[in-house]
A and B are shown apart, each in its own frame.
Chain A
Amino acid sequence: MSSLRVLWAGWVTHFKIVSRSPFAIGVGATWPIVNATLAYFMYQAGGSPQTLLYASLGSAVAGIWSMAALDASGAIQRQRFWGTLELLVAAPVKFALVLLPMTIAIASVGIYCLATTLVWGRLVYGIPLPLEHPLAFVLAVPATLVSVGVLGFALCMLLVRFRAASHIGNSLEYPVWLASGLLFPIAVLPAWTHPISWSLATTWGMRALLHGSLGGPVWLDLGMCALLTVVYGAIGVAILDRFLDAARRSATLSLT
């Protein structure tokens, strides 16, 4: 119960912090619109509303991933910069409970990407949003945000030794868009890339949203989101313990 309270309080706090960043919100809200517009003109020749919806949802998930890649990967560095990292580590709760809601909150700001993309597509280009499985579609939104947020947590831990972590995270933005089938279906990619696609929360989040809307094996997609959340979480926590121990040994907690 207490751990859940800490997670919730952390999410609320960090969601407020990120939501009050005009840059994050500005980029989060406008960049997917640009993507969606590009995709609309690319796919409109096909004339299929399903293809247009695919492009619209793909842009939204791409926006969510961009948030995680850029901001969540540098979450620890940002706390260092703000001078709050030592205070968070010195707290008597497990540090994973402090860091996890931070990266999930960053990915959650992607809700703005989703909302603006769908509204833009509907109002400007008349792209409909059918809801074949309304409940599953509604569940797919937090499932995508949380699984991508926890992927951001694992990424943050993998890049924790690099001072330019957010730049490295940024360089992963486009490859993940491609590998997750956010711009076009992964079926067109070489077969050897498919395991990479299946290991990404963005792939299953996108599929869950799409299948929730158009129909399909949405519960499998949601299950994969949940499974990957656990796997990413376990990887992140395992690295986190080593990082904290090393940081206490090498006195690198307060270095900016």
Chain B
Amino acid sequence: MAVIEAIKLRRTYRTTTGVLRRKPLEVEAVRGISFSVERGELFGLLGPNGAGKTTTIKMLITLLLPTSGEARVLGHDVVDDAREVRKRIGYVFGGDRGLYERLSAYDNLRYFAELYGVSGREQRTRIDEVLELVGLKGREHERVEGYSRGMRQRLHIARGILHDPEVVFLDEPTIGVDPVGARDLRRMISDLVAGGKTVLLTTHYMFEADALCDRIAVISRGEIVGAGSPAELKGRVQGGHVTEIEVFGVDDPTVDRLRGIAGVTAVTIEEREQKQVLVVQTSGEHEVTAALLAQLDGFEVGRVASREPTLEDAYVALVDE
């Protein structure tokens, strides 16, 4: 039996536009997605900002009601059996908020231990264990307001696993953390899976998903546009090519024209100081460099390079489809 199951899960938000004449607007954040996560698996939900990752995770952890569809965690329905789900899961999100700044890390953990039903006798031992695990032992009696961003994120993880949940949901846990801190956090996440936990991770860092996840679902505009192991996803763009062209001042209509060239599967622009780099993915069946340069006639063009596609290119191609 799958530990996490989402079946045609859908969520719409109602909002309004306008100031004087308010018009109702319905935004489809998640559009009927289905996936399952097996026991002991580290499953990644990967997608750009606003793709629907956090909405999906919030439905699975019972904070949001789905508009339609079903979801179960460890066999418990997230709508009808919310309390049973909550007992068995841990939730960690990224960012500075979500902690009581005026309290010490120890006091924060003690409060959440009580809320999550860790018995009085076990609390001290369990808090010591998680502090050791996240590398905050010795700093636990300092107030959180003096913690660095990385320390706060480690405390978030400690809080999320305090009650030893079977399933841990991690919503962009490394966002805003420096590279060394992020590497430490990734090691902690690997340790969780090695310790037998099932983890659902959302991220928009491709390398992070590649390094950690057993399987990945790429989500874009509320729909799953690709799923599989990192190797399988990479395989989707193998045989293709990527051409990088340095340009200056390229506008959107020109980029759209590039997308229309036969053989071009995706075009993205990276801003690098004054210049732009066009990353053009091609199917590999056509030689398109001349056609690309023809469309860029009139713009200042710098270095042109060709390379093999990476997993990030696979992700971009999926999201861009």
A residues in contact (CB < 8 Å) with B: 2, 5-6, 9-10, 13, 16-17, 20-21, 82-84, 86-93, 98, 248-251, 253
Contacts and interface: CB of A to CB of B under 8 A. Distances in A.
A117 to B, nearest CB: 26
B117 A16 contact: no
B114 A5 contact: yes
Contact of B117 (A21, A92, A98): A92
Given A9-B111, A13-B111, A83-B97, A90 B65 contact: no
Interface stretch (B102-110, B186-194, B212-220): B102-110
Given A16-B103, A21-B102, A92 B87 contact: yes
Nearest to A17: B102
Contacts of B64: 248, 251
A115 B120 CA distance: 33
B14 interface: yes
B282 to A, nearest CB: 40
B62 interface: yes
Given A9-B110, A9-B114, A83 B102 contact: no
B43 interface: no
Q: Sort chain B's interface into a size bin.
A: 20 to 34
Contacts, number: 78
Interface in B156-174: 159
Contact of B116 (A92, A248, A253): A92
Nearest to A2: B117
Contacts of B55: 251
Interface of B: 13-14, 55, 58, 61-65, 83, 86-87, 91, 95-103, 107, 110-112, 114-117, 120, 159
A90 B64 CA distance: 10
- Label chain A's interface by main secondary structure: helix
A86 to B, nearest CB: 6
Contacts of A91: 86, 112, 115-116
Contacts of B83: 92
B102 A248 contact: no
B98 A17 contact: no
Given A6-B115, A16-B107, A90 B100 contact: no
6 contacts: A6-B114, A10-B114, A82-B100, A83-B95, A83-B99, A87-B159
B86 A16 contact: no
Nearest to A98: B115
Given A249-B65, A251-B13, A87 B98 contact: yes
Nearest to A80: B97
Nearest to B104: A16
